[in-house]
């Protein structure tokens, strides 16, 4: 049967894709939590992270081939640069495309349009400034088979992606569950009005939520770019998939976004072996529709109260 | 609102003033120009192809060649004194078939355009050609290779390269006889160009008793404004490795092939990668990495230039103008443009669109890459395929496909 031949290689591939979806999906889900809005410019946050890490690593690594501890250092720098780039763009987006509308009590549709406008603006600007060809991030480590698991060859970059993603996902989960900032985010997500009466600074919490989403999205941009290169159009498809993952897992739910991302990645890749490469997206979105028909809130979803 | 208007007031006035001044100057200049060269009419030769988007590099390779040919002709270097002046116009269609009709219409509406070099891509050509045909505007493509383009009875359609009915079968024969493969895995990017090419390849491969497995992987968002997912190649590569096919033939463009080749490498593929003229670009090697790209075979109905003085002069002139060396289809575009100019020279000072179409059907022009002479359907008469290999991070021409096959 199609599932049994090559099951493990496809599972591994699917998880590698899924971790990236999960990182991006968190940006959608966190913002949705506090604003009950889909930030459609998040794809460009992701792209900005990719470019930021490209420029930093290009300057630091150039044509040399780092190995050993230097590789670990460069991966950390790449993630840092990507996260910073993503966070900066997310912060600016909130300031320019969201806050003025929020202050004037604009209708929901206005937010959607200003986000789409922001997205087009940023990616066309990037295409204009950085060129239309895909750019290769200089390799911080030598990619190759790391080890074999049930007959599936695991590449070094999968290991790097998985370790970085898991670390970041745990950190975010803990931050939201345990810190004062996390408490603020949860309070605003539950009931913004009451939260503000209790002394929570809503504007600050929203801004910080965008920044956290941007940190994750930007870092994902770096991890994605390691394998596929960075280009001004790189955000579109992965972000759409991540949005799907967030909805699949239950939008507004952090663990749901992770679960949705991993599921989507694995399903997509298994569909390639079962039906064919050109059916990949058809199957992925078909399953999304099927899940939502049965469970409209998504797998782990629940209503999370009112928005700010 | 009010302060904004106020703030805008001064610059706006300045702009109007500036416009008036420049406008006046421009009119004066035109008047002067007309009086000086009253006898010489000006005609425009346009270029249509991708000048932005993922395939911009291919378009730029061509654009500068067209421009160079026009500049040289105006300076009297290539054709001596001409009874007309030539102007160049670039038209960007991003290689996309949705954009191409609009681009074509803008060129058709410009009455001074007498011929178009392009469209560069087969899909774009297919979409735009009905409009060009209705306007009797000759198009000479340096690169559109889909066979179907020559079967539509567009008498204004010409191309200076062989079509995929020549390229696909030559590639299949190369895989069977030189690489000695018993089976092949073919993948296309779902573009008009790739589907035609891969069809011709598959048919010939089956005739040669090869086992053919075919998959379609839509071109990605990172490449020619496609819709595919850049992550799709990982799973596809695993599939290919488990099929044990020794040769993969990819019909598509370099930016996707680079991603695909990386996927194959990661999946542990040890066979040979073959691809087409869309992949014949140094960016394939730089995006995939030399260690991944090495050993890939690429085919093209185009050839590297030799060492004749004309070839060298073209290469130097191109580099001086473009700032980068000649690439895929640069020489073909130069030939296409010069073929048009040669035809115009024969017609004389009064060039019309229909006269140019009729003239192109008769012309015989000795170009850098070949002697350009068109068949009735617009295809080039007698053309050959060339095979290239990536060696040590460089794309090296191995020679004519027919000769390599005969030797094997």
pLDDT value at residue A302: 66
Listed ranges A133-147, B1-15, B18-32; the one with the highest mean pLDDT: A133-147
- Please compute the mean of the pLDDT values over residues B250-257 and round it to a whole number: 91
Segments forming the whole domain that contains residue B178: 165-300+386-407
> Are B238 and B350 contained in the same domain?
no
Chain A residues touching residue B259 (CB < 8 angstroms)? 228-229
- Please compute the mean of the pLDDT values over residues B273-281 and round it to a whole number: 91
Cβ distance of A132 and B229 shorter than 8 Å: no
| Nearest CB to B239; choose among A228, A229, A273 | A273
- Please compute the mean of the pLDDT values over residues A168-188 and round it to a whole number: 89
Cβ distance of B283 and A133 shorter than 8 Å: yes
- Please compute the mean of the pLDDT values over residues B350-354 and round it to a whole number: 93
pLDDT value at residue A36: 81
| CB-based contact, B290 to chain A, within 8 Å | no
pLDDT value at residue B15: 43
pLDDT value at residue A9: 79
> Are B287 and B322 contained in the same domain?
no
> Are B259 and B392 contained in the same domain?
yes
> Are B200 and B264 contained in the same domain?
yes
| Nearest CB to A134; choose among B222, B228, B239 | B222
> Are B285 and B318 contained in the same domain?
no
Q: What is the pLDDT of residues B319-349, one digit of tens each?
A: 999 998 888 889 999 999 999 999 999 999 9
CA angle B32, B37, B38 (to 5 degrees): 90
pLDDT value at residue A1: 55
Chain B residues touching residue A155 (CB < 8 angstroms)? 266
pLDDT band with cut points at 50, 70 and 90 for residue B4:
very low
pLDDT band with cut points at 50, 70 and 90 for residue B198:
very high
Chain A residues touching residue B236 (CB < 8 angstroms)? 272, 277
Into how many domains does chain B fold? 2
Instruction: Assess whether pLDDT exceeds 60 at residue B38.
Output: no
pLDDT value at residue A8: 81
B50 to chain A: closest CA residue: A132
Instruction: Assess whether pLDDT exceeds 60 at residue B83.
Output: yes
pLDDT band with cut points at 50, 70 and 90 for residue B183:
very high
* Mean of the per-residue pLDDT values of chain A: 85
Instruction: Assess whether pLDDT exceeds 80 at residue A307.
Output: no
Tell me if B229 is assigned to some domain.
yes
Is B376 strand, coil or helix? coil
In percent, the amount of chain B with pLDDT more than 70 equals 89
Tell me if B34 is assigned to some domain.
no
Q: What is the pLDDT of residues B361-388, one digit of tens each?
A: 999 998 888 889 999 999 988 767 889 9
Instruction: Assess whether pLDDT exceeds 90 at residue B125.
Output: yes
CA distance A302 to chain B (A): 30
pLDDT band with cut points at 50, 70 and 90 for residue A308:
very low
The answer to which of A89-93, A96-100, A206-210, A277-281 has the lowest mean pLDDT is: A277-281
| CB-based contact, A281 to chain B, within 8 Å | yes
Q: Please give the interface size between A and B, counted as residue pairs whose CB atoms are below 8 Å apart.
A: 98
How many C-beta neighbours within 10 Å does residue B313 have?
13
Are residues A10 and B235 in contact, defined by beta-carbon separation less than 8 angstroms?
yes
pLDDT value at residue A283: 82
pLDDT band with cut points at 50, 70 and 90 for residue A271:
confident
pLDDT value at residue A276: 72
Cα separation of B253 and B249, whole Å? 12
Cα separation of A72 and B139, whole Å? 55
Instruction: Assess whether pLDDT exceeds 70 at residue B23.
Output: no
- Please compute the mean of the pLDDT values over residues B262-269 and round it to a whole number: 88
* Mean of the per-residue pLDDT values of chain B: 85
- Please compute the mean of the pLDDT values over residues B102-121 and round it to a whole number: 94
Cβ distance of A280 and B268 shorter than 8 Å: no
pLDDT value at residue A303: 53
A2 to chain B: closest CA residue: B239
The CATH number of the domain holding residue B213 is 3.40.50.2300
> Are B217 and B255 contained in the same domain?
yes
Cα separation of B161 and B168, whole Å? 14
Cβ distance of B267 and A276 shorter than 8 Å: no
pLDDT value at residue B103: 93
Q: Which of A267, A43, A15 is nearest to A165 (CA)?
A: A15
pLDDT band with cut points at 50, 70 and 90 for residue A51:
very high
Tell me if B145 is assigned to some domain.
yes
Chain A residues touching residue B190 (CB < 8 angstroms)? 278
Instruction: Assess whether pLDDT exceeds 80 at residue B152.
Output: yes
pLDDT value at residue B35: 44
Cβ distance of A234 and B242 shorter than 8 Å: no
Cα separation of B51 and B59, whole Å? 5
> Are B56 and B138 contained in the same domain?
yes
Tell me whether the omega of the peptide bond preceding residue B119 falls within 30 degrees of 0, making it cis: yes
CA angle A48, A260, B237 (to 5 degrees): 75
**Integer angstrom CA distances of residue B97 from A61, B48, B103, B191:** 40, 12, 10, 10
| CB-based contact, B214 to chain A, within 8 Å | no
- Please compute the mean of the pLDDT values over residues B306-319 and round it to a whole number: 87
CA distance B31 to chain A (A): 37
Chain B residues touching residue A236 (CB < 8 angstroms)? 221
Cβ distance of A6 and B231 shorter than 8 Å: no
Q: At a CB cut-off of 8 Å and minimum separation 6, what does A32 contact?
A: A38, A39, A246, A251, A252
| CB-based contact, B217 to chain A, within 8 Å | yes
pLDDT value at residue A191: 84
Which is more confident, B221 or A94?
A: A94
Are residues B204 and B189 in contact, defined by beta-carbon separation less than 8 angstroms?
no
Instruction: Assess whether pLDDT exceeds 80 at residue A273.
Output: no
The domain limits of chain A are 27-233
Q: What is the pLDDT of residues A65-84, one digit of tens each?
A: 777 788 888 889 999 999 99
Tell me if B21 is assigned to some domain.
no
Instruction: Assess whether pLDDT exceeds 80 at residue A151.
Output: no
> Are B134 and B170 contained in the same domain?
no
- Please compute the mean of the pLDDT values over residues B112-124 and round it to a whole number: 93
Cα separation of A271 and A269, whole Å? 5
Q: Which string of DSSP letters, residue by residue, matches chain A?
A: -TTTTTHHHHHHHHHHHHHHHHHHHHHHHHHHHHHS---TTHHHHHHHHHHHHHHHHHHHTTT----THHHHHHHHHHHHHHHHHHHHHHHHHIIIIIHHHHHTT--HHHHHHHHHHHHHHHHHHHHHHH-SS-BPPPPSS--SEEEEETTEEEEHHHHHHHHHHHHHHHHHHHHHHHSHHHHHHHHHHH-HHHHHHTT--HHHHHHHHHHHHHHHHHHHHHHHHHHH-B-TTTTHHHHHHHHHHHHHH-TT-HHHHHHHHHHHHHHHHHHHHHT-GGGHHHHHHHHHHHHHHH-TT-SS--------
Instruction: Assess whether pLDDT exceeds 90 at residue A45.
Output: yes
């Amino acid at each position: 049967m199609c599932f049994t031949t090559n099951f493990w290689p496809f599972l591994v591939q699917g998880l590698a894709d899924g971790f990236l979806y999960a990182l991006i999906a968190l940006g959608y889900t966190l913002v949705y939590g506090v604003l009950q809005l889909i930030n459609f410019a998040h794809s460009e946050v992701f792209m900005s992270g990719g470019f930021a890490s490209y420029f930093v690593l290009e300057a630091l690594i150039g044509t040399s081939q780092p190995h050993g501890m230097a590789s670990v250092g460069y991966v950390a720098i790449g993630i840092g640069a990507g996260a910073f780039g993503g966070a900066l763009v997310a912060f600016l987006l909130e300031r320019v495309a969201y806050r003025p509308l929020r202050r004037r009590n604009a209708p929901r549709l206005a937010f959607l349009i200003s986000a789409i406008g922001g997205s087009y603006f940023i990616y066309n600007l990037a295409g204009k400034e950085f060129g239309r060809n895909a750019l290769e991030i200089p390799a911080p480590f030598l990619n190759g088979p790391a080890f074999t698991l049930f007959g599936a060859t695991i590449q070094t970059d999968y290991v790097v992606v998985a370790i970085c993603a898991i670390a970041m996902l745990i950190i975010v989960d803990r931050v939201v569950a345990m810190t004062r900032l996390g408490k603020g985010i949860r309070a605003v997500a539950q009931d913004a009005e009451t939260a503000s009466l209790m002394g929570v600074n809503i504007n600050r919490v929203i801004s910080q939520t965008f920044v956290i989403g941007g940190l994750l999205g930007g870092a994902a941009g770096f991890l994605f770019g390691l394998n596929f290169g960075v280009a001004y159009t790189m955000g579109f498809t992965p972000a759409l998939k991540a949005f799907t993952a967030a909805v699949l897992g239950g939008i507004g739910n952090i663990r749901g976004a992770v679960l949705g991302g991993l599921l989507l990645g694995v399903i997509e890749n298994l569909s390639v072996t079962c039906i064919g490469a050109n059916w990949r997206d058809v199957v992925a979105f078909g399953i999304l529709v099927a899940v939502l028909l049965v469970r409209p809130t998504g797998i782990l979803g629940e209503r999370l109260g009112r928005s700010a | 609102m009010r302060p904004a208007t106020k703030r805008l007031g001064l610059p706006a006035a300045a702009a109007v003033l500036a416009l008036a001044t420049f406008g006046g100057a421009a009119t004066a200049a035109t008047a002067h120009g007309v009086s000086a060269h009253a006898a010489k009419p000006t005609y425009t030769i346009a270029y249509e192809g991708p000048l932005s988007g993922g395939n911009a590099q291919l378009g730029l390779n061509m654009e500068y060649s067209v421009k160079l040919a026009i500049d040289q002709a105006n300076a009297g270097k290539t054709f001596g004194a001409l009874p007309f002046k030539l102007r160049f116009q670039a038209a960007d269609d991003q290689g996309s078939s949705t954009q191409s009709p609009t681009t074509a219409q803008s060129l058709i509406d410009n009455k001074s355009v007498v011929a178009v070099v392009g469209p560069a891509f087969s899909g774009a050509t297919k979409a735009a050609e009905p409009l060009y045909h209705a306007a009797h505007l000759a198009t000479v493509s340096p690169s559109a290779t889909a066979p179907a383009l020559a079967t539509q009875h567009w008498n204004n359609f010409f191309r200076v390269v062989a079509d995929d009915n020549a390229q696909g079968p030559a590639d299949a024969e190369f895989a069977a006889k030189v690489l000695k493969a018993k089976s092949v895995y073919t993948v296309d990017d779902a573009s008009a160009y790739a589907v035609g090419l891969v069809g011709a390849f598959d048919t010939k491969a089956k005739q040669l008793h090869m086992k053919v497995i075919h998959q379609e992987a839509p071109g990605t968002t990172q490449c020619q404004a496609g819709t595919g997912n850049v992550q799709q190649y990982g799973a596809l590569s695993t599939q290919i490795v488990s099929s044990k096919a020794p040769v993969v033939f990819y019909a598509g463009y370099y930016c996707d092939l680079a991603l695909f080749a990386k996927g194959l490498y990661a999946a542990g593929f040890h066979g040979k990668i073959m691809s087409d003229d869309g992949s014949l670009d140094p960016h394939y090697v730089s995006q995939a990495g030399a260690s991944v790209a090495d050993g890939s075979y690429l085919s093209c109905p185009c050839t590297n230039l030799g060492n004749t003085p004309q070839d060298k002069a073209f290469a130097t002139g191109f580099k001086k103008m473009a700032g980068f060396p000649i690439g895929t289809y640069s020489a073909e575009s130069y030939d296409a443009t010069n073929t048009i100019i040669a035809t115009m020279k024969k017609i004389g000072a009064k060039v019309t669109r229909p006269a140019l179409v009729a003239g192109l059907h008769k012309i015989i022009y000795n170009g850098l890459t070949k002697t350009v002479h068109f068949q009735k359907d617009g295809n080039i008469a007698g053309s050959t395929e060339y095979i290239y290999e990536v060696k040590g991070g460089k794309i090296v021409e191995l020679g004519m496909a027919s000769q390599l096959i005969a030797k094997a």
